[in-house]
Amino acid sequence: MNLEHLNALKKLLSSTKKIAIIPHKNPDGDAIGSTLALWHYLVNKGHTASIISPNDFPKFLKWMPGSETILNFERENSQAKSCIADTDLIFTLDFNHLGRVGQMTETLEKANATFVMVDHHQEPSSYAEIMFSDVTMSSTCEMVYNLISELGDSHSITKEMANCIYTGIMTDTGSFKFAATTSNTHRVIAELMDLGAEGTEIHHRIYDTNSPSRLHLLGCALKNMVILNDYHTAYITLSQAELDTHNYQKGDTEGFVNYGLTLEGIRFAVIFIENKEEGILKISFRSVGAFSVNDFARKHFNGGGHTNAAGGKSDDTIAETIAYFTSLLPQYKYQLQS
């Protein structure tokens, strides 16, 4: 952890501050878990803090302690805007360029506050005066745990905070199995359990919330899967019509992309999901091994992320996007083989 930036933050937090905490658009378990843990910490220290999410987040995260206080920039727009305009510090968590907050970008760019980044994605941009960026970290939640410890406050981690941090580490590591899961990750998890984190219950609340229509949507996605053995690649498409037929709710497609990687020999899995309202396809990329989906998403689909998990988008139709995607694969044939 960068000591200079740590000391600068310590100094800033030594007097009471007004603080806004921002996760990325379409926040996941790590984004919501890390913002909530930090929010509890700062409020307990006597600061005035609010979490402002660019948009809504899935129902399976709404049990998390404090989640009912999160402002939705789309829904509570004027309240959110005035909060950002009147704040001393802005923490941005689990993302590293301002485009990741969608419609909120302009408001953040205009804000007259000190920015603090806490993030584990590749190739951070330089909007934050205080930067904690570490691509070796499993999750932003693990970084928030480390940050609170480095600030000398690990004794102040409550059971609520432990549950939030546990959730983000669990979801970002695919329940402690992805490559970024280190022995330190497990040490942090052990500490969190000692602090009261309820691992089994959290797992149940996040993963055992299927509706029949979500399982049917999964069936549809798996039926749509195309396997390109020559390129060790599998991709799924879901049209807006298919989502509508299955009563799509936010978060329903979470994890679908991973099924491609469970096929023997498949190293690159992709899902293309149509969003008619935004006029885009949202794309998720996953890989195993050295093939960098961060590079792929950045280069071809206006996105980014990590080596083995990234996202991006397309403004074209599903058919056009698939034609473009498959036209790219030959140049990666060698990489996908090794």
For ligand 5GP, the binding residues (CB under 6 A) are 24, 100, 121, 284, 303-306, 309-313
Closest approach, Cβ 94 to Mn ion, in A, equals 5
Q: Which of 91, 127, 129 minimizes the C-alpha distance to 110? A: 127
The option from Mn ion, ligand 5GP, none interacting with 305 (CB < 5 to 8 A, set by class) reads ligand 5GP
- CB nearer to Mn ion: give 175 or 224: 175
Closest approach, Cβ 129 to ligand 5GP, in A, equals 21
| Two tokens, residue 62 | 């709404």
The option from ligand 5GP, Mn ion, none interacting with 304 (CB < 5 to 8 A, set by class) reads ligand 5GP
Closest approach, Cβ 311 to ligand 5GP, in A, equals 2
Closest approach, Cβ 159 to ligand 5GP, in A, equals 27
- CB nearer to ligand 5GP: give 178 or 332: 178
Residues paired with 270 in a beta bridge: 235, 285
The option from ligand 5GP, Mn ion, none interacting with 312 (CB < 5 to 8 A, set by class) reads ligand 5GP
Q: Using CA atoms, how far apart are residues 149 and 303, in angstroms rounded to an integer? A: 32
| Two tokens, residue 7 | 């000391």
Task: List all residues 6 or more positions away from 304 whose beta carbon is below 8 Å from its beta carbon.
Answer: 97, 121, 122, 123, 294, 297, 298, 310, 311, 312
Closest approach, Cβ 28 to ligand 5GP, in A, equals 6
Q: Using CA atoms, how far apart are residues 35 and 12, in angstroms rounded to an integer? A: 18
Q: Closest residue to ligand 5GP, Cβ-based?
A: 311
Burial of 164 per CB tally in 10 Å (0-12, 13-18, 19+): buried
The option from Mn ion, ligand 5GP, none interacting with 160 (CB < 5 to 8 A, set by class) reads none
In the block, tokens 């330089």 appear at 126
